[in-house]
Structure 1
Amino acid sequence: MKFGQQLRESLFPDWKFYYVDYSGLKRFLYERTDKGYTADDESEFVKLLDSELEKNPHD
């Protein structure tokens, strides 16, 4: 079973908002690698990842 599928099947509904959008981040990377991944793409990915990590209420 692929990681993304396993992750979706094991989500706890009350915590769904706090999970990292693994599929969205993966999609972002796939879309950019087909065209050549640039430094701007890297900066945008880091911003997306940071925003996902900031959803976590446990600092």
Structure 2
Amino acid sequence: MKTQEKHACQYPDCNKSFTRAEHLRRHALNHEQPRNGYTCERCSVHFQRSDLLGKIKGSG
């Protein structure tokens, strides 16, 4: 039985929802203005979290 996703993102046009509040908080970083984030040197995409940058680097 799948756990009900109760924590929905309130950002306009974002339909993501999460089972845990901390996952929603982590996701919300994607909607915030870039501060001291991480930028991919190959494609210039900006990430708030280094692990997400690592995923794109490892996929190419």
Range class of TM-score, shorter chain: under 0.3
More strand by share: 2
TM-score w.r.t. the length of structure 2 is 0.25
More helix by share: 1
Question: Bigger relative contact order, structure 1 or 2, given CA contacts below 8 A and separation 6+?
Answer: 1
